[in-house]
Amino acid sequence: MELNRTLVTILALAISPSLAEARDGRLPATSCASLAQIRLPHTVITSATLVEPDGPNPGHCRVLATVAPETDIEVRLPNEWRERLLQLGGSGFDGTIPNLNLNAVHLMQGFALAASNGGHRDSTGGPTRLLKQPTLIEDFAHAAIGKTVRFAKALIEAYYGDRPRYTYFAGCSNGGRGALNAAAKYGDEYDGVIAGAPSRNVAGLISGWTRAGLLTPPSPAKLASMYRAQVTLCDADDGLVDGIIGNPDACRFEPASMRCQAGVDDASCLTDAEILAVNTIRSDLELANGRTVYSRLGLGNPSRGFGVFMPLGPPGSPTAGLFLGAGHLQYIVYGDPAYDPSTYDVNSDLRHVTNVIEGVYDFSADTMPLARYLRSGRKMIVWHGTEDTALSHLDTVRTFDRMIGRSGTAAANARLYTPPGVQHCGGGPGADSFDLIGALREWVEDGRAPRTLTASKLDRAGNVLFGRPLCEYPAYPRYVGGDPNDVAAFRCVNARPDHPASFRR
């Protein structure tokens, strides 16, 4: 899970060049060491250390603390502060504080940074610490978000003599769920949030993960072969053959087209059981009455990146889908590590899962509080790669549409981007680096609402390989001529003319 955590931090927050600033930085009003003496309810500050500039990390005060029972928090306070706080989400089941070294550029831009372990201590990245621990589960569900932002603001006021003028939350996957919960449950604390690949519909997602985890997937070689066939069929739908399915809504690839002939079973074809496995994850999970529980997964390569078919260990170990689905059922819903996920029946069991996940612990951000957040004038950016094979970008679209439908004219305070060819929180062949924090900052602080943004594909050294427009959903970047590596060679085209007015040309 640590690899996923790293991808979340690097790619979901889209590290970008320094921003132009209108104000001078604020200097500390007291010493870093003195922060260790602050007394706050239910809180123990374990260290306050002045960190000298080192490579990309600017000088700052690093504070570690715990809010009872075990929400571990890290806050970094830059030597020159520009009256902003950026809270960062984690990933998976949390359990450890994200590596804030990966966000040095934002510290350099004058943001104070804050993050937590999600309310519990489990360095394995698993859910075992949550077993029969309702307070820890509630902290993991959402309460650690409020504990972290309130502690960070108190610390900032003690250090600089003033509270933040602007507060933001950004995260991906479980951190994207956190961003939506920050808006829905602690909205008065935040001016803007960024939710990447948000696991918002948690009861539906648990059901989807469990369904996928009980399948027998094709081998990685077969999945890779299937993905190549899919790209061959659909690559040109955006006007350019470049290895990226730029218009996934138009792709009509059928795994059955690769059915093995009698007596043949190699990496170039799929058996009937393997076709069933792929078609299952690419179909909506529905109740017997036809109600959608969770939307189908995207058209990404299930053999690459973080997805439900990804093995989490040597051959025979559970896939990510089974680990995540069973983990929630065993350690949170039923409180029984021996619970057998193969007995899960969505028609008979979903009600209990929903009662626990939402009724008891309130894991997901409800539609109406999100709409109220937007009506207050605060801002939200949601993004989800179309080749995510761990969480459904289509479920994100479905629940986003429901939110803006309840928001009225305040829907203008939300944006949704679905970058083509991008996997879970980054990776994949598509352009997966974009500056959403800069866009959100300009929107909140300067009133410049984002429309089409710029996405880039970087090499390992950080050099730009090619660019694409980052279009608002339901638009996609269509090639119109010129250098195919240049953003200007594309324009955003609406893939769904019937979609509501969230799409702005």
Establish if 62 belongs to a structural domain.
Answer: no
How much is the pLDDT for 161? 96
- Structure token pair of residue 369: 């509080």
Establish if 439 belongs to a structural domain.
Answer: no
State the average pLDDT over residues 376-393: 98
Establish if 158 belongs to a structural domain.
Answer: no
Residue 457 in contact with residue 432, Cβ under 8 Å?
A: yes
Establish if 337 belongs to a structural domain.
Answer: yes
State the average pLDDT over residues 15-24: 44
How much is the pLDDT for 316? 78
Length of the chain measured in residues:
505
How much is the pLDDT for 25? 83
Residue 130 in contact with residue 136, Cβ under 8 Å?
A: yes
User: With 80 as the cut, is the pLDDT of residue 391 above it?
Assistant: yes
Instruction: Dump strand ranges (E) for 1-54.
Output: 43-51
Establish if 309 belongs to a structural domain.
Answer: yes
Q: Sorting pLDDT into bands at 50, 70 and 90, what band is 499?
A: low
Query: How do residues 34-74 score in pLDDT, each as one tens digit?
Result: 999 999 999 999 999 999 998 888 999 999 999 999 999 99
State the average pLDDT over residues 482-496: 95
Total-model pTM:
0.94
User: With 60 as the cut, is the pLDDT of residue 394 above it?
Assistant: yes
User: With 80 as the cut, is the pLDDT of residue 335 above it?
Assistant: yes
Establish if 485 belongs to a structural domain.
Answer: no
Query: How do residues 165-201 score in pLDDT, each as one tens digit?
Result: 999 999 999 999 999 999 999 999 999 999 999 988 9
Q: Is 433 helix (H, G, I), strand (E, B) or coil?
A: strand
Mean pLDDT taken over the chain? 93
Count Cβ neighbours within 10 Å for each residue of 66-77 and write b for 16 or more, e otherwise: bbeebbbbbbbb
How much is the pLDDT for 175? 98
User: With 60 as the cut, is the pLDDT of residue 20 above it?
Assistant: no
Residue 135 in contact with residue 69, Cβ under 8 Å?
A: yes
User: With 70 as the cut, is the pLDDT of residue 9 above it?
Assistant: no
Cβ neighbours, 10 Å, residue 133: 18
User: With 80 as the cut, is the pLDDT of residue 345 above it?
Assistant: yes
Q: How many domains does the chain have?
A: 1
How much is the pLDDT for 501? 45
State the average pLDDT over residues 454-476: 97
User: With 70 as the cut, is the pLDDT of residue 6 above it?
Assistant: no
List phi, psi (to 5°) of 172: -135, 150
Cα torsion 244, 246, 248, 252: sign: negative
Spell out the alpha helix ranges (H) of 8-59: none
Establish if 381 belongs to a structural domain.
Answer: no
* Torsion angle defined by CA atoms of residues 144, 145, 146 and 147, in that order, rounded to the nearest 10 degrees: 40
Q: Sorting pLDDT into bands at 50, 70 and 90, what band is 500?
A: low
């984002």: which residue's tokens?
Answer: 450
Establish if 262 belongs to a structural domain.
Answer: yes
How much is the pLDDT for 23? 53
Query: How do residues 249-307 score in pLDDT, each as one tens digit?
Result: 999 999 999 999 998 889 999 999 999 999 999 999 999 999 999 999 999 998 888 99
168 bridge partner residues:
86, 192
Contacts of 132 (CB under 8 A, 6+ apart): 335
Q: Is 126 helix (H, G, I), strand (E, B) or coil?
A: coil
Which amino acid is present at 285? L
The residue segments making up the domain with residue 282 are: 206-360
Q: Is 369 helix (H, G, I), strand (E, B) or coil?
A: helix
How much is the pLDDT for 305? 86
Cβ neighbours, 10 Å, residue 338: 6
Query: How do residues 307-334 score in pLDDT, each as one tens digit?
Result: 999 998 887 789 999 999 999 999 999 9
